[in-house]
Amino acid sequence: MPYFVGAGCSDVTLAALLGALDVVDIGMILLDRNMQACFVNQRCADLCLGGEELEADGVGFDTILRHLTANVMRDLPGSEAEASLAEFERAVREGDVLPVMVDLPDGRRLLLRSTPCPDGGRLLTCCDITPLKVEEEARERARHEAESMSAEQRFIAETLEEQASHLATLAESADENARRVERMNKLLQHEIAERRELAARLRRMATTDGLTGTLNRARFLALAQRALTRARHLGQGMAVLMLDIDHFKQINDCFGHQAGDAALKHFVDRLRAGIREHDLLGRLGGEEFAIALTTVDGARAFEVAERLRLMVAGSPVRHGGQTFNMSVSIGIATPRESDESIARILARADARLYAAKQAGRNQVCAAMD
């Protein structure tokens, strides 16, 4: 949930809205007219504040600037960081609608924007626009390649015009040009195929987790919401599973982060082997995953979860000559009549996951709906 919430948050609709804002891809900070923060969503904390939780009382814009400096611009050259931050601070304080782009050393690009509010406050947003940066660079490369091809075509035309009076040479040149056009057509087809492959890669980057190949958080929530709507329309059952690898930090500490990555991939392979092709599997973050099972009731969902738990516990991870076991805790929730969003079902499944952890881990706990 957000770090800053003002008065009146007992309202159910407002709470649902704040919960939705907490899972969007755009980071948000809402400042009041006194430049005090009254709302920060989770995405902003992840992108701009290093994942740190700020205390709600007395957090002003100056404090947020210090966090931006410490977490977003810490590896940038001093003068570049100061200039970007100073321009953003000026825009916020003077009420300008001014976007500021920051290119990070790891290749990511962030877009910071300040928008004045009618009550004198400010809405600060932070968005990771790295995919747009990658697409822009790809378009620039394609443009240069197209210009080079155009220059070669002009050269061919000029050559043909100069040799028009020499019929024999013209015929020979025509044959050569025909072969060159064929080669150019092949190059063009190859370029088209590369662009299609690039577009497919960009779509995968936008919808899947880079390490495990599962759906990313945003894509999982979108498809699970669609599945919930379809299940309601058809009168079918549905269940959501929240899964968390037990003591995953110990795996990283004892065997290294590469072994931890191997464990995550192995874990996903076990999950895929235990669910149907049309069931949804997503990585929500770290070692936490979610599964949306369609056309099932609570009893069937518990059977599936128990089977997954046994598959994980009974399949050791092998990496770099090392072998270690791992287990998973699972929470289950099914839709209620009042559930309009998948987030509410996920929240109940997450609560049962916490109960499974508290009860000793390596077990399944279902919500009593």
Residue 320 to residue 255: CA distance in whole angstroms? 9
Per-residue pLDDT, 368: 60
133: Cα separation from own chain's centroid: 15
Per-residue confidence (pLDDT) for residue 5, from 0 to 100: 45
Which of 161, 287, 337, 340 is an active site residue? 287
Q: Do 98 and 158 have their domain in common?
A: no
Domain boundary among 170, 187, 207: 207
In a domain, 271, yes or no: yes
Assigned domain for 212 exists:
no
pTM over 0.85: no
| Token pair in block for residue 100 | 């500021």
Same domain, 93 and 188: no
Residue at which a domain ends, from 78, 103, 128: 128
Q: Which pLDDT belongs to residue 198?
A: 67
pLDDT at residue 183, rounded to an integer: 83
Assigned domain for 5 exists:
no
Answer yes or no: do 123 and 140 share one domain. Answer: no
For residue 343, the enclosing domain spans: 217-366
Q: Note whether 230 and 341 are same-domain residues.
A: yes
Active site residue 303: no
Q: Does residue 7 fall inside a structural domain?
A: no
Per-residue pLDDT of the chain in tens (369 residues, 90 and over written 9): 444 444 455 566 767 777 777 777 788 888 888 888 888 888 777 776 655 555 544 577 777 777 777 766 655 565 565 676 677 777 788 877 667 777 776 777 888 888 888 888 888 888 888 888 788 888 888 888 888 787 777 777 676 677 656 767 767 777 788 888 888 778 777 777 777 776 656 665 678 999 999 999 999 999 999 999 999 999 999 999 999 999 999 999 999 999 999 999 999 999 999 999 999 999 999 999 999 999 999 999 999 999 999 999 999 999 988 999 999 999 999 999 999 899 999 999 999 999 999 999 999 999 765
Identify whether residues 232 and 357 lie together within a single domain.
yes
328 within a domain of the structure (yes/no): yes
Q: What is the CATH number of the domain that holds 78?
A: 3.30.450.20
pLDDT at 97: 65
| Same domain as 356, residue 283 | yes
Residues 227 and 357 in one domain: yes
**Using alpha carbons only, how large is the chain's radius of gyration in Å?**
27
Number of compact structural domains in the chain? 3
Residue 4 included in any domain: no
The amino acid that residue 348 corresponds to is R
67 and 144: one domain?
Answer: no
Same domain? For 224 and 342 the reply is yes
User: Helical H runs in the chain?
Assistant: 12-21, 42-48, 61-71, 78-94, 130-162, 167-207, 217-234, 248-255, 257-274, 298-313, 342-358
> Is residue 33 one of the residues assigned to a domain?
yes
355: helix, coil or strand?
helix
Alpha carbon distances (Å) from 246 to 23, 102, 217: 24, 37, 20
Residues 187 and 285 in one domain: no
Statement to judge: residues 87 and 174 lie in one domain = no
Task: Mark whether 103 and 139 lie in a shared domain.
Answer: no
SS3 306: helix
Does any domain span residue 3? no
Query: Of 128, 154, 174, which marks where a domain is finished?
Result: 128
Q: What is the DSSP string of 139-205?
A: HHHHHHHHHHHHHHHHHHHHHHHHTTT-HHHHHHHHHHHHHHHHHHHHHHHHHHHHHHHHHHHHHHH
- The CATH number of whichever domain residue 307 belongs to comes to 3.30.70.270
